[in-house]
């Protein structure tokens, strides 16, 4: 696929999409690469780049979340972001929750694989921050944070609540 470029104010070409392809060609010693000049507006460049990067296998959820947070801060509506990135508004909402995550949870960002799990952890951190932080801290540091981890945390809360209820019942007898 050809790369996408645009001219800057000085007449130089700037890569909009395809930087990795460009670098790969350079590494192979190629002097030229196919390119398509785009008349894209400045404010649309980020969307084009992110849409292309969404196809990368190594793109991290927080890179997407940071882009979405920037667009929201710039005044874009979640529904418009979703359309432009080819996502559902629900998915954009999950990514946008990352900006509300406490810093201690963001420290674990490399252990998350799935944005749905991130969203669940952010919601749990709003409700039970101290308990969740203690729960994650006691896990093996190589353990991924998954749906099973969410389920295990919720189960630990249920057990704790059950113990409290049993103690209250014993105290009132």
The backbone torsions φ and ψ at residue 15, rounded to the nearest 5 degrees and listed phi first, read -75, 130
pLDDT tier, 127 (very low <50, low <70, confident <90, very high otherwise): very high
Is 123 in a helix, a strand, or coil?
A: helix
What pLDDT shows up at residue 4?
A: 83
63-115 pLDDT per residue, tens: 899 999 999 998 999 999 999 888 899 999 999 999 999 999 999 999 997 89
Q: How far apart are CA 173 and CA 171, in angstroms?
A: 6
What pLDDT shows up at residue 65?
A: 93
pLDDT tier, 57 (very low <50, low <70, confident <90, very high otherwise): low
What pLDDT shows up at residue 165?
A: 54
172, pLDDT greater than 70:
no
Q: Is residue 55 classed exposed, middle or buried when 0-12, 13-18 and 19+ CB atoms within 10 A define those classes?
A: exposed
Q: Which residue has the tokens 């398509």?
A: 36
What does the DSSP 8-state code read for residue 109?
Answer: G
């Amino acid at each position: 696929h050809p790369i996408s470029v645009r001219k800057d104010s000085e007449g130089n070409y700037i890569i909009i999409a395809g930087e990795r392809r460009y670098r790969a060609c350079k590494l192979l010693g190629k002097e030229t690469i196919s390119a398509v000049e785009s008349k894209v507006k400045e404010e649309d460049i980020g969307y084009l780049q992110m849409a292309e990067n969404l196809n990368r296998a190594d793109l991290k959820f927080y890179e997407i979340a940071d882009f979405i947070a920037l667009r929201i801060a710039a005044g874009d509506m979640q529904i418009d972001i979703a359309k432009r990135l080819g996502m559902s508004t629900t998915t954009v909402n999950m990514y946008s929750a990352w900006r509300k995550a406490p810093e201690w949870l963001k420290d674990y960002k490399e252990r998350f694989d799935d944005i749905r799990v991130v969203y669940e952890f952010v919601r749990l951190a709003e409700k039970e921050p101290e308990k969740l932080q203690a729960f994650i801290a006691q896990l093996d540091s190589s353990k991924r944070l998954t749906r099973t981890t969410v389920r295990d945390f919720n189960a630990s809360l249920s057990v704790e609540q059950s113990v409290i209820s049993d103690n209250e019942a014993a105290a009132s007898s």
